[in-house]
Amino acid sequence: AAGDVTGCGWASCGACLFFNSHAKEILHCLKNKYFKELEDLEVDGQKVEVPQPLSWYPEELAWHTNLSRKILRKSPQLERFHQFLVSETESGNISRQEAVSMIPPLLLNVQPHHKILDMCAAPGSKTTQLIEMLHADMSVPFPEGFVIANDVDNKRCYLLVHQAKRLSSPCIMVVNHDASSIPRLTIDVDGRKEVLFYDRVLCDVPCSGDGTMRKNIDVWKKWTTLNSLQLHGLQLRIATRGVEQLAEGGRMVYSTCSLNPIEDEAVIASLLEKSEGALELADVSAELPGLKWMPGVTQWKVMTRDGQWFADWVDVPHSRHTQIRPTMFPPKEPEKLEAMHLERCLRILPHHQNTGGFFVAVLVKKSSMPWNKRQPKVQGKSVENREATQLSTATPTEGKPVDALEPESQLVTGTGDSEITTPENLENNENKKDGVCGPPPSKKMKLFGFKEDPFVFIPEDDPLFPPIEKFYALDPSFPRMNLLTRTTEGKKRQLYMVSKELRNVLLNNSERMKVINTGIKVWCRNNSGEEFDCAFRLAQEGIYTLYPFINSRIITISMEDVKTLLTQENPFFRKLSSETYSQAKDLTKGSVVLKYEPDSANPDALQCPIVLCGWRGKASIRTFVPKNERLHYLRMMGLDVSGEKKKEGVALTKDSTATTELPEDGLGEELRAEEAGLPDATPGCGPIAPDPPR
C-alpha cells in the first residue's frame, strides 16, 4: 500500500518513458485533483497531512507521504488517492519506494550513452530509475547505453523482470549470477573481442538492514552485531568486483540500508587501501541540495555478539580471527586515513527528514586497479570510439566464505587486458548457430530455477520479415537485426526487440551468462493473420519504441475519439470523428496505430501525445491496451475511473451488432515462463466504462 510506512516516497517515472510530458500530466493531475481533495480533510478529528515534494529530488518528480494503511480505509478521498497510486504504479507511471533508496541512482549521474551495471538489483526500484535516466531524451527510441540488472536469487530475478517491464525499454537485460564472482563479459568492437567495462556501477549490497527498523519489525527480533561481521566479507567482495568492471573515469555508488560502520566505512576504507590510489571518494555534498546528511565516520570499534569490543586488529585473539578480519578496522596511519576522505561518505539518519537510515559512498575510478593490466577509459558519446563496459553482480550466497582479502587476483588473473585471446571461447562461438543465444551449458554453470528459452535473433533473410515491413511501411532505418524470438522450433509467436548494444552483449556471451529476460514485445502472431496481409499485429508494450519507424496504417485521432475507443468495446466508425473515419475507411482490415497529438491552442485538453495499438475491422475499430494503461489515459483526460478497481468485471459500452473481426491469436493462452506473470498486451484489455458524471 502506498504510504503504509513512515518515510514512503514515490516518483513519477515519465509514463513508461513514453514522453516527458506524461510525467508532467501526472504531476498536474496529482496537484490539481488529489492533493486539493486532501488539503482540508480531517479523519478522526485529525487533519490529514498532504504529500510533500522531496526537496532534493529534481523537478518535483518525487513526493513523500506518511499515510498509514489504517487511515486510507477511513476516507473516500484517501481511498481514491490510494487507488490512483496503485493503478499508476502497475502501469509503470509511478514508482513507490523508500525515499532514501532513490538517492544512489541520482548520485550515479547517468547519461543516455552510459553502460550501467546494477549488481544487486532485485526487487528493482532503483533499476527503474536507471532506465528512466537512460531515456532522458524521449525522442530517441534506442539510447546508446543500457542497464544490466543482476540478482543471485532466481525467484527475485522474476520480480525484477516485472518491475523493469513496466517501463517498456529495449535497453534492459536481467541476469542471474552471484555478484561477487560474476563472469567477465566481452563484446565485439570492429571485429575484435574486447572486455565489457561499465561507465556506471550501482553496488547496493546485501546488508543487516538496521537502518530500516522503523518499518521492519523483523530487524528488532533478529538483529545482532554478528550480522555485520558475517556480511562484511561478502560486501567487500561485491564492491571489489564492481570496481574491477568499472571503466576508468567511471563512477560506482556503494550503498547500504545499515548505519553500522563495519558494513559501510570499513568496506570503503579497505577498498581504497587496496586500490593504491586507483579509486577516490567523490565529494557529492553539493549534488543533492536540500538533502540532510552526516559525514562518514573515521573511527569505530568492532563488537562481537557477546558484547566484547576491539579497537585494533592486534587486540583480537586468534580464536576470533575467522569471525573478525583486519579489513573491519579503520586504518592506523593518520595520513592514510586523512587521504581517504571518509568524511565524504553520506550518512542519512532517520530523524533528520523522516526517512529510513541509509549509507552512500560515491567512488570514482582514476586509473586501472593494481591487479589489472589495462582497460578502456570512459570516452565521448560515439559508440564506435567509446569502449564498452563489463558486468558484475551481487547478493548473499549461503555457505560462501566471507573473507574478502584474496578474490581480486583469483577473479581477474589474465583478464585485465581489453583484448581477449581465448581460442576455446572463439571456437565455441563459431560452432554455435548464428544468432542463437541459449543458456550456459550446465557443465560450466550450475543452473537454478526455471530453464530459460533461448534468445534467437531473426536472420536477415528470414521470409517472416518482408510482409511485416511492407504492411507497416517500415522505415529503411528500422534495426531489423535487433529483432529476436524465444524459440528455435515451430512458428514464432512473439517478436521482441533489443538495442544493438544489448544484441552485441547477447551474441558474445551466451556461454558464460544466464540471461533471465531482455527485450520488449513489439509484434504478436495472429493465427489467422495471413488473411489480413500480415501475420503479426502490433503489441502495446513496444509501440512507443516501434512507432518512429512506422509509416503506414497510422490513424490520427482526437481526444473524444480516445475516450470513445477506451470506453467502448467495438465502436462503429460512425461513433468516431469524421476525420478519423476518413482515415480508417480506406485501410484494409488488420492492426493499426492510433495516434493522438495534443492541441497547444487548447490548454484544457490533454497535453501529452498518446500512441495506441488498434484493430481495424469491417465497420469498427477497437484498441489492444492493458486495463491499467486505459485507466491512466482516461484519468489524464479528467474522467472519474475510481470505481473500476473495485469491480470484479469491467462494465462495457458495446455496440450490439459491431463485429471487429479480431485476430485469433490465443488471447487467453498462458504466458511464457520468462514473462514471469507479467500482463500481456491483451489480457484484461477490455475497454473501461467511466463512472457517470456526478
Q: Residues annotated in the binding site, as ranges?
A: 120-126, 151, 178, 204
Distance, in Å, from the CA atom of 330 to the CA atom of 96, rounded to the nearest integer, reads 37
Does residue 292 come out as left (phi exceeding 0), alpha (psi in the -120 to 50 range) or beta? Answer: beta
Number of H-type helices and E-type strands within the chain: 21, 30
**Residues whose CB is less than 8 angstroms from the CB of residue 534 and which lie 6 or more positions away in sequence, other chains included:** 467, 468, 471, 472, 590, 591
Place of cell 541459449: 438
Distance, in Å, from the CA atom of 403 to the CA atom of 401, rounded to the nearest integer, reads 6
Residue 640: all three cell numbers together:
472519474
Residue 350: all three cell numbers together:
532517520
Distance, in Å, from the CA atom of 418 to the CA atom of 374, rounded to the nearest integer, reads 7
Q: Which of 511, 541, 547, 525 is nearest to 675 (CA)?
A: 541
Active site residue 8: no
CA distances, 174 to each of 14, 64, 80 (Å): 21, 29, 34
Catalytic hit among 13, 29, 257, 437 = 257
Place of cell 561477487: 180
The three-state secondary structure class of 637 is coil
Around Cβ 348, how many Cβ atoms within 10 Å?
A: 23
Pairing of strands 455-457, 436-437: antiparallel
Q: Please state the residue numbers annotated as binding site for S-adenosyl-L-methionine.
A: 120-126, 151, 178, 204
Burial of 653 per CB tally in 10 Å (0-12, 13-18, 19+): middle
DSSP 444-467: TS---SSPPPPEEEPPTT-TTHHH
Three-state helix/strand/coil letters over 337-353: HHHHCHHHCEEECHHHH
- Please give the DSSP secondary-structure letter assigned to residue 285: T
Q: Bridge partners of 496?
A: 484, 521
**R_g of the chain, CA atoms, integer Å:** 27
**Active site amino acids:** 257
